[in-house]
Amino acid sequence: MSREKILLVDDEADILEVVGVRIKSWGYELLKAKNGKEAIGIVKAKKTDLVVLDYMLPDMDGIAVLKEIRKINKKIPVIMFTSYPNPTAMYAAENLGISAYVAKLSIPSDDRQALLKTAVDMAIKKISEDNKKA
């Protein structure tokens, strides 16, 4: 049985490690990128089922990365996962078809992880349902 591949994009090594361990513990295969360029390269080169994308990256912001991802794959679910939620970014992300927007810091750790897991599981379930329809 193949596991869904989730690309986690974040420039903070501790986030990649801690959230990455959680994603793997949920039964998903983990791919990691520490910047936007690397993330875009992974989406181009590998079958990625879902992207968990930080908004603030060193080389480009999450919206720019999301626009590039949409050029490659219009349907791939993307969850914005950020410490800096702001209305402008949320609006731009929503217009580019994100699956969810999860704040990193304003929610206690266990609740934040639960919210992220729910968002990931819902996006993966939608992929499965869409594949059954096709």
- Which pLDDT value is given to residue 2? 58
Instruction: List the CATH number of the domain containing 89.
Output: 3.40.50.2300
d(CA 74, CA 63): 14
For residue 73, the enclosing domain spans 5-133
pLDDT at 93 over 90: no
d(CA 128, CA 83): 30
As for how many domains the chain has, the answer is: 1
**105-122 pLDDT, tens per residue?**
555 566 667 888 888 888
Q: At residue 84, what is the residue type? A: Y
pLDDT at 1 over 70: no
- The answer for residues whose C-beta is within 8 angstroms of residue 28's C-beta and 6 or more apart is 3, 4, 5, 6, 120, 124
Pairing of strands 5-9, 29-33: parallel
Query: What are 47's two structure tokens?
Result: 């079958």
Go through 29-65 and write b for each residue having 16 or more CB atoms within 10 A of its CB, e for each that does not. Answer: ebbbbbbbebbbebbeeeebbbbbbbbebeebbbbeb
- Which pLDDT value is given to residue 37? 97
**In a 3-state reduction of DSSP, which class is residue 53?**
strand
**32-88 pLDDT, tens per residue?**
999 999 999 999 998 899 999 998 899 998 889 999 999 999 889 999 887 766 666
pLDDT at 30 over 60: yes
Eight-state DSSP code of residue 100 = E
Eight-state DSSP code of residue 48 = -
- Average pLDDT (21-33) is 94
- Which pLDDT value is given to residue 100? 78
